[in-house]
Structure 1
Amino acid sequence: METFSSFFQSQSSSRSGWSYESLKNFRQISPVVQNHLKQVYLALGCALVASAVGVYLHLLWNIGGFLTTLTCLGSILWLLSTPPYEERKRVTLLMAAALFQGASVGPLIDLVIDIDPSILVSCFVGTAIAFGCFSAAAMLAKRREYLYLGGLLSSGLSILFWLHFASSIFGGSTALFQFELYFGLLLFVGYIVVDTQEIIERAHLGELDYVKHSLTLFTDFAAVFVRILIIMLKHAAEKDQKKRRRRN
């Protein structure tokens, strides 16, 4: 927690040094890297559209489940094992992975629509704002300023994995579920910052694989979106229960 608080403190302290020029040139990011980032975010936008199509297909034919999750993982592994020069194939695999990811999240979104459809819109807008703000913070910060957080985030992700593994075997409490939910949200918000800076740094070093980089950011976006959606759904269910108790 101290690490993340120091992130916000350093971010607020650096705002006084921001100027119009620094915002305009993105902390002297080279034109090549800027063009690469445009490709990355364009591919990310297309992946989000493909994911929305996957959700729609689930709502129509109820295809989301364990099989689509496996297919999504298979598409990601296939993409990562495909050489960079096969660009069309890799873009197709990225869109397929996003579509199957959307279908996998479909059952959760279907539940949200049945309870309160406005939650879905609020969740997407909130996730997009959070993603945009933290990505901008990473771009406007000094190069490699937040890359040191990567080790801490990896350790936190390992802890989260083992907690989930233990709860699936021995059974988990409500408190543990809430901890996993909020701690996971905090981790993936941190990954947005670290992954953005890592993409910029790799692009400066000549790695311009926009398909792989957009996949990384799509994974971060999806992880944050799902957790925010579950949190909002949980709060909506609690409010509904309180209203029912008052009526009774």
Structure 2
Amino acid sequence: MEAFFERSAGAGSWGYDSLKNFRRISPSVQHHLRLVYLTLCSALVASAAGVYLHILFNVGGIITMLGCFISIAILLNTSPSEKKKRLGCLMATAVLQGATIGPLFEFILEFDPRILVTGFVGTSLAFACFSGAAVVAKRREFLYLGGFLSAGISLLFWLRFASYIFGPSAGVFNFELYLGLLIFLGYIVFDTQEIIERAHRGDLDYVKHALTLFTDFVAVLVRILIIMTKNSGEKKREESKRKKRS
């Protein structure tokens, strides 16, 4: 997502050996990636705490969303040398983001808790696969996706704008939902390769890079949960109709 604001000759030999092949990535960049993913995992734990806080105290809403944006702004405008402050801002962002999406989690817990587990596992596997593909691919191989993804984000914006003017539509909502999922899956690949490229050029700001991937992960998770809940609800309605007919 950061890029919105500011197969290859050797790709045919996929397998275990290709997954171990990090020769194109220097040791310093490998160390940087470890820090990024470790920080990302910490942010996801903090976000889960934010969801739990909403379930306990019903704090999620407009205020937490605005607080999340403020925390991001503070993080991006803080010097990279102030690591503790920036990490604190990242964790605050994660907690506030978790509280903001807390109502969705609360609804799913009441509707079918199994969706949360399945959705999180599915998102984690998708993230690992797409991000791993970007790591083992040739450098800059997927950076061309940036233009397409930015265009997709613009399309989503105009679709949402049109729905406000002409009223909501189920067809437009479904199209926006699935298109958004595809776009943010693409951003996982794009952002991972951009992080690697920036690290090769000396940008080792792992906090900001973890924020970028955290944003992608949450965007994918929310859409997967909505899709699963929607499909589960439709199945239950069809089953209830069949029971009434019988």
TM-score for the superposition, normalised by structure 2: 0.93
Q: Deviations over 1:52-86 (max 9, x none)?
A: 00000001011111111111111111110111111
CA shift for structure 1 position 148: 0.5
**Number of the residue aligned with 1:117:** 113
Report the Cα distance in structure 2 between the residues aligned to 1:12 and 1:206, rounded to whole angstroms: 27
Q: Deviations over 1:210-234 (max 9, x none)?
A: 0000000000000000000000000
Cα distance change of structure 1 residues 13 and 117 upon mapping to structure 2, 3 Å threshold? farther
CA shift for structure 1 position 245: 1.0
**Number of the residue aligned with 1:144:** 140
From 40, 43, 53, the counterpart of 1:44: 40
**Number of the residue aligned with 2:94:** 98
Identity level (%): 61
Q: Is the 8 A contact 2:24 2:139 kept in 1?
A: no
From 26, 45, 69, the counterpart of 2:65: 69
Report the Cα distance in structure 2 between the residues aligned to 1:241 and 1:123, rounded to whole angstroms: 21
- AA matched with 2:116: L
**Number of the residue aligned with 1:60:** 56
CA shift for structure 1 position 24: 2.3
From 207, 212, 236, the counterpart of 1:211: 207
Report the Cα distance in structure 1 between the residues aligned to 2:42 and 2:126, rounded to whole angstroms: 19
- AA matched with 2:199: A
**Number of the residue aligned with 1:7:** none
From 11, 15, 23, the counterpart of 1:14: 11
Q: Is the 8 A contact 1:112 1:233 kept in 2?
A: yes
Moved over 4 A (4+): none
From 124, 131, 141, the counterpart of 1:128: 124
Report the Cα distance in structure 1 between the residues aligned to 2:21 and 2:98, rounded to whole angstroms: 35
Instruction: Specify every segment of 5 or more residues in structure 2 that has no aligned partner in the other structure, as ranges.
Output: 1-6
Q: Is the 8 A contact 1:27 1:139 kept in 2?
A: no
3-state SS of 1:146 partner: coil
25-34 vs 184-193, which deviates more?
25-34
Report the Cα distance in structure 2 between the residues aligned to 1:44 and 1:87, rounded to whole angstroms: 15
CA shift for structure 1 position 162: 1.2
| RMSD between aligned residues | 1.5
**Number of the residue aligned with 1:162:** 158
CA shift for structure 1 position 240: 1.1
Q: Is the 8 A contact 2:115 2:229 kept in 1?
A: yes
Q: Is the 8 A contact 1:51 1:101 kept in 2?
A: yes
Q: Is the 8 A contact 2:60 2:103 kept in 1?
A: yes
Aligned residues: 238
- AA matched with 2:38: L
- AA matched with 1:177: F
From 165, 174, 178, the counterpart of 2:174: 178
Report the Cα distance in structure 2 between the residues aligned to 1:104 and 1:111, rounded to whole angstroms: 13
Q: Is the 8 A contact 2:24 2:138 kept in 1?
A: no
3-state SS of 1:28 partner: coil
Instruction: Specify every segment of 5 or more residues in structure 1 that has no aligned partner in the other structure, as ranges.
Output: 1-9
Report the Cα distance in structure 1 between the residues aligned to 2:71 and 2:79, rounded to whole angstroms: 14
From 238, 241, 245, the counterpart of 1:245: 241
**Number of the residue aligned with 2:4:** none
- AA matched with 2:141: E
Report the Cα distance in structure 2 between the residues aligned to 1:214 and 1:90, rounded to whole angstroms: 11
Cα distance change of structure 1 residues 34 and 165 upon mapping to structure 2, 3 Å threshold? same
CA shift for structure 1 position 23: 2.8
- AA matched with 2:181: L
